[in-house]
């Protein structure tokens, strides 16, 4: 309850970028100069259109050899983000081997709890018993040393259809428990993140319409490729999801606006067309502008893993330029061209990891996609520059992926498949890449 009164937007104007971050008495979410903000029609929250996704922070080897988050880098980036007016931070107990929440909490600890919106998730993938699920929620509160969460999400539902949703949230009584937490004010907004088929999505909308479970917001995967070209049988076009949510007035959070960075590094032909229209702005800025130009979008998350994309994104959102109808159509054309490339729909979210047999699944896919994007992808042994392309592919493959973590070591156990939000048939794709590499090595492409 005490939280409700905080939203005094008028007061926030004073907190410009010039303010030092250690202001104890601050009582409203921060604002940056020129940063694009959106007002949540349901409760008046003024969120920055650019939200910080805490899933891709840099990892460094820790004292015992295991990777740990580079906390110093995170602190620096969060400071910069706060100074620039980014006031929405999205994390999960599952991200970055379970270290993301803690790192976010440390970086944000010097700012008043009320100066940012916190989003985290019930990521009860492994053990979805009520005890484990409740413990996960309480743990999030403890880590952030807070008594409320602004935006709480049922993490990635839709993948296993209605069945999986019911097993993880209904049969264990968690959805009722979460509603109760909402009534108590511990959860301010309850929503879900979605990857799945239109039918499953329709089901969640029916729950909303019937009043059984009201969704305060929904997080969807949206970008100019997924708008009308969502991949696979089990994924839904973002244009459909957007329309359904828009007509119900539900605020939309967006994940994967860049498809895990793939839309920041597009094939040369597409990049050339974008640069021809706008030589001064990055390829990534086109993808962000596409998403941000849709008015129902409340927050668009970007998992900025270093200062460079952070600076660039702040620039994009600080002087946000809405797209014209013609530009939106241009993006659709670019998406169509993009689909011509045989890329794997991986966004490097690492939900599939760790592979029990040690395969670097996202690494293998990223490398493959990068080679296609950069044109170092041989199609036949007879083509021009074949030897050069072959060498480029194989050398960079060995350089980026440890030999024992390469595709040929995948035994096809299939353990990863259910975790992939993009419904990639991981073992099939790894086998395809292993065979591709084999045929390169043997010159029998």
Binding site for another protein (CB under 8 A): 55, 59, 66-67, 93-98, 123, 125-127, 132, 349-351, 353-358, 360, 403-405, 408-415, 419, 431, 434, 441-443
Question: Least distance from C-beta 66 to another protein, angstroms?
Answer: 8
Structure tokens at 12: 């926030």
**Nearest to another protein of 33, 443 (CB atom):** 443
Bond into 370 cis (ω within 30): no
**Nearest to another protein of 132, 268 (CB atom):** 132
**Nearest to another protein of 141, 381 (CB atom):** 381
Question: Least distance from C-beta 434 to another protein, angstroms?
Answer: 7
β-pairing, 117-122 vs 88-90, is parallel
**Nearest to another protein of 93, 112 (CB atom):** 93
Which spans in 61-197 are helix H? 71-84, 95-98, 100-108, 130-143, 161-165, 174-184
**Secondary structure (DSSP) of 334-388:** HHHHHTTS---------TTPSPTT---HHHHHHHHHHHHHHT-----TTSTTHHH
Question: Least distance from C-beta 48 to another protein, angstroms?
Answer: 25
How far is the C-alpha of 87 from the C-alpha of 150, rounded, in Å? 11
Which value, to the nearest 10 degrees, does the dihedral of the CA atoms of residues 137, 420, 51, 367 take? 140
- Backbone phi, psi, residue 400, to 5°: -85, -30
Question: Least distance from C-beta 157 to another protein, angstroms?
Answer: 15
Question: Least distance from C-beta 177 to another protein, angstroms?
Answer: 19
How far is the C-alpha of 423 from the C-alpha of 415, rounded, in Å? 13
**Nearest to another protein of 23, 353 (CB atom):** 353
**Nearest to another protein of 69, 108 (CB atom):** 69
**Nearest to another protein of 237, 415 (CB atom):** 415
Rg (the chain; Cα; Å): 22
Question: Least distance from C-beta 386 to another protein, angstroms?
Answer: 14
Given the structure tokens 């702040």, which residue do they identify? 314
Question: Least distance from C-beta 98 to another protein, angstroms?
Answer: 4
């Amino acid at each position: 309850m005490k939280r409700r009164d905080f939203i005094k937007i008028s007061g926030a104007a004073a907190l410009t970028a010039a303010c030092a971050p250690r202001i104890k008495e601050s009582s409203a979410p921060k604002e940056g100069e020129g940063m694009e903000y959106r007002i949540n029609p349901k409760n008046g929250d003024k969120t920055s259109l650019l939200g910080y996704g805490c899933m891709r922070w840099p990892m460094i080897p820790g004292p015992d050899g295991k990777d740990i988050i580079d906390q110093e880098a995170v602190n620096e980036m969060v400071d910069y983000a706060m100074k620039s007016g980014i006031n929405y931070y999205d994390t999960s107990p599952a991200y970055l081997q379970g270290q993301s929440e803690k790192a976010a909490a440390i970086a944000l600890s010097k700012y008043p709890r009320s100066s940012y919106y916190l989003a985290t998730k019930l990521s009860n993938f492994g053990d979805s018993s009520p005890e484990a699920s409740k413990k996960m929620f309480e743990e999030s509160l403890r880590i952030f040393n807070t008594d409320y969460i602004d935006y709480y999400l049922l993490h990635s539902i839709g993948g296993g259809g209605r069945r999986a949703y019911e097993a993880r949230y209904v049969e264990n009584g968690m959805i009722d428990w979460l509603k109760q937490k909402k009534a108590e004010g511990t959860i301010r907004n309850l929503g879900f993140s979605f990857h799945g088929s239109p039918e499953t999505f329709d089901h969640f909308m029916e729950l909303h319409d019937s009043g059984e479970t009201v969704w305060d917001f929904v997080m969807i995967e949206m970008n100019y490729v997924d708008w009308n070209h969502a991949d696979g049988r089990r994924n839904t076009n973002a244009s459909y999801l957007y329309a359904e949510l828009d007509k119900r007035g539900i605020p939309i959070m967006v994940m994967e606006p860049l498809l895990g960075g793939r839309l920041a590094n597009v094939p040369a032909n597409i990049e050339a067309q974008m640069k021809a229209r706008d030589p001064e702005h990055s390829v990534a800025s086109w993808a962000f502008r596409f998403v941000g130009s849709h008015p129902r979008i409340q927050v668009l998350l970007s998992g900025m893993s270093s200062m460079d994309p952070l600076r660039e994104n702040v620039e994009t959102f600080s002087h946000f330029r809405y797209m014209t109808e013609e530009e939106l159509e241009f993006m659709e054309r670019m998406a169509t061209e993009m689909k011509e490339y045989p890329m794997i729909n991986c966004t490097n979210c690492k939900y599939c990891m760790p592979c029990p047999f040690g395969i670097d699944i996202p690494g293998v896919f990223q490398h493959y996609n990068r080679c296609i994007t950069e044109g170092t992808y041989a199609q036949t042994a007879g083509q021009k520059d074949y030897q050069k392309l072959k060498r480029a592919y194989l050398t960079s493959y060995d350089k980026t992926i440890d030999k024992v973590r390469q595709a040929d070591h995948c035994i096809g156990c299939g353990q990863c498949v259910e975790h992939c939000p993009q419904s990639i048939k991981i073992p099939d794709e790894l086998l395809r890449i292993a065979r591709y590499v084999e045929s390169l090595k043997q010159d029998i492409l």
